[in-house]
């Protein structure tokens, strides 16, 4: 009698943990939940999963994370993916306070305050009007939203 081993031809199965797609706001912290992998012969082969893809939370866009694994016999699981959409953060806002030193529009001091978040590249924090006119305060958040 000849005793032989039946070849392993069955691919493992990857199970994604969490949703297949999700959206986050620019600047959020993203931690992938990962996946698990089981094989009919090798059992739990989760530690062999290869995860590819990077989510850059600073840049709006759509990112794909892929999960791949092979069992000891070389059978590859069907690839599983997760789509992560980084949505543009809202533009920063601020308040403008006015200090009036006379009853004309001259010598009005406008100061930008009360930013909704950390900002940079402020053209001026305070502007004094010596004549009637308009002035625009410009600034952006750390992601370049103006």
Q: What is the DSSP string of 57-71?
A: TTS-EEEEEEEE-B-
- Tens-of-pLDDT digits for all 146 residues of the chain? 566 678 999 999 999 999 999 999 998 999 999 999 999 999 999 999 999 999 999 999 999 999 999 999 999 999 999 999 999 887 777 777 767 666 565 666 767 776 666 766 676 666 676 666 676 777 777 777 76
Structure tokens that stand for 68 in this block: 């791949």
Structure tokens that stand for 42 in this block: 């090798």
Q: Which domain holds residue 99?
A: 95-141
| pLDDT of amino acid 140 | 73
Q: Is 130 within the bounds of a domain?
A: yes
Same domain, 128 and 75: no
Same domain, 81 and 19: yes
CA 117-118-119 angle, 5° bins: 110
Residues 6+ apart with CB under 8 A from 87: 23, 24, 25, 26, 60
Same domain, 18 and 83: yes
Same domain, 53 and 108: no
Same domain, 83 and 99: no
| pLDDT of amino acid 41 | 95
Same domain, 50 and 67: yes
Same domain, 63 and 99: no
Q: Which of 32, 37, 28 is nearest to 19 (CA)?
A: 32
Same domain, 17 and 82: yes
Q: What is the DSSP letter of 44?
A: E
Same domain, 36 and 59: yes
Residues 6+ apart with CB under 8 A from 11: 71, 75, 76, 77, 78
| pLDDT of amino acid 89 | 81
Q: Is 3 within the bounds of a domain?
A: no
For position 33, which CATH number holds? 2.60.40.10
Same domain, 19 and 68: yes
Q: What is the DSSP letter of 81?
A: E
What is the count of structural domains for the chain?
Answer: 2
| pLDDT of amino acid 98 | 66
Q: Is 4 within the bounds of a domain?
A: no
Write the DSSP assignment of 85-116 as a string of letters. EEEPPPPP--EEEEEESSSSSTTEEEEEE--S
């Amino acid at each position: 009698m000849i005793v032989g081993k039946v070849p392993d031809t069955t691919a493992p199965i990857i199970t994604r943990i969490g949703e297949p797609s999700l959206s986050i706001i620019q600047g959020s912290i993203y931690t992938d939940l990962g996946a698990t992998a089981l094989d009919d012969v090798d059992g739990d082969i989760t530690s062999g999963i290869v995860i590819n893809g990077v989510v850059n939370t600073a840049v709006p866009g759509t990112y794909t994370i892929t999960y791949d694994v092979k069992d000891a016999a070389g059978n590859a699981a069907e690839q599983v993916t997760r789509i992560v959409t980084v949505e543009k953060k809202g533009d920063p806002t601020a308040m403008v306070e006015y200090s009036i030193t006379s009853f004309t529009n001259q010598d009005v001091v406008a100061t930008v305050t009360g930013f909704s978040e950390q900002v940079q590249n402020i053209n001026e924090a305070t502007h004094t009007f010596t004549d009637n006119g308009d002035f625009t305060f410009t600034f952006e958040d750390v992601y370049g939203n103006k």
